[in-house]
């Protein structure tokens, strides 16, 4: 069947209706009103976030990096603000057994040059022992600063899986903000781009038009086998690991948690 340009009822199975450019522009402009309102509300929330109170923390507490123990204050690298991602860790697990959700977050911010230009430093903290962490960082090819916070209390150490912000005033350090769960998505540009596509993230929780491909469990594609098939099975790895040297098929995925 030849689509009729201005007939919005023209449907290809499992796809959006086919219309002419003028009809598409009208529908797009209607959605744009809602998108702009969403942006303005996000700006208002960000303004409220900037007005949150803060908590002083001990900037002299030591974390362990490639040069050994250093005071947490050093992670600011002389800048006034610091954002950290607190990466979950499974002691003794092989590289493919580390948290796939945390891998997703860490992989999407491998260069903080634009943060640095605004006076903000970035680092990844994890509770793993430094020798294991160093091996993992080398395997993944990460270029961000990584530090072990094993034994360090919250909010610098403690529970992982958070994006956390700190402010420095001279030698004094303050906790200003922290988020987890879907709050971590702001780092993941891939999810933002997927949200622009007709099939979205292809996850079951999404509201999909009838007839579109059935969604799967959240973060179903964070692990795959060597052929790129999404799987949580014994041959799976966090997706970006297949781009690293030495990432061969494995017999066990090791210990890991699902969909943090």
Residue 222's pLDDT is what? Answer: 93
Q: Give the mean model confidence (pLDDT) for residues 20-34.
A: 98
Residue 255's pLDDT is what? Answer: 54
Residue 142's pLDDT is what? Answer: 95
Counting runs of H as helices and runs of E as strands, what totals does the chain give?
A: 5, 10
Domain boundaries, the chain: 50-186
Which regions of the chain does DSSP assign to beta strands (E)? 55-57, 62-65, 68-71, 81-87, 120-126, 146-148, 162-169, 172-180, 223-224, 237-238
Is the pLDDT score of 6 beyond 90?
no
Q: Give the mean model confidence (pLDDT) for residues 233-249.
A: 85
Residues 65, 203: Cα–Cα separation, whole Å: 37
Cβ atoms of 150 and 69 closer than 8 Å: no
CA 29, distance to chain mean position in Å, is 30
Is the pLDDT score of 200 beyond 70?
yes
Q: Give the mean model confidence (pLDDT) for residues 26-31.
A: 98
Residues 184, 83: Cα–Cα separation, whole Å: 12
Is the pLDDT score of 1 beyond 70?
no
Name which of 128, 140, 141 is nearest 89 in CA terms: 128
Looking at domain 50-186, which of 3.40.30.10, 3.30.450.40, 2.60.40.1730, 3.10.290.10 is its CATH number?
3.40.30.10
Question: 112-154 pLDDT, tens per residue?
Answer: 999 999 999 999 999 999 999 999 999 999 999 999 999 999 9
250 pLDDT band, cuts 50/70/90, is low
| Mean pLDDT, the chain, integer | 91
Residues 146, 215: Cα–Cα separation, whole Å: 35
Is the pLDDT score of 215 beyond 60?
yes
């Amino acid at each position: 069947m030849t689509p009729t340009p201005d007939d919005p009822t023209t449907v290809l199975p499992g796809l959006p209706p086919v219309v002419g450019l003028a009809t598409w522009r009208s529908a797009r402009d209607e959605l744009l009103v809602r998108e702009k309102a969403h942006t303005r509300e996000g700006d208002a929330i960000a303004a409220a976030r900037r007005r949150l109170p803060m908590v002083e923390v001990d900037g002299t507490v030591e974390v362990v990096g490639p040069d050994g123990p250093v005071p947490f204050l050093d992670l600011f690298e002389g800048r006034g603000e610091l954002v950290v991602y607190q990466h979950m860790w499974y002691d003794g697990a092989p590289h493919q057994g580390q948290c796939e959700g945390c891998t997703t977050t860490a992989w999407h911010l491998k260069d903080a040059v634009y943060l640095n230009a605004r006076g903000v430093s970035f680092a990844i903290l994890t509770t793993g022992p430094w020798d294991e962490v160093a091996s993992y960082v080398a395997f993944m090819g990460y270029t961000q600063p990584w530090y072990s916070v094993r034994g360090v209390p919250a909010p610098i150490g403690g529970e992982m899986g958070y994006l956390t912000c700190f402010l420095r005033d001279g030698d004094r350090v303050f906790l200003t903000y922290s988020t987890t769960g879907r709050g971590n998505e702001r780092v993941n540009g891939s999810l933002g781009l997927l949200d622009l596509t007709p099939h979205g993230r292809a996850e079951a929780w999404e509201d999909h038009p009838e007839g579109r491909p059935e969604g799967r469990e959240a973060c179903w594609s964070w692990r795959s086998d060597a052929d790129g098939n999404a799987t949580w099975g014994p041959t799976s790895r966090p997706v970006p690991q297949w781009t690293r040297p030495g990432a061969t098929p494995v017999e066990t995925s090791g210990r890991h948690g699902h969909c943090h």
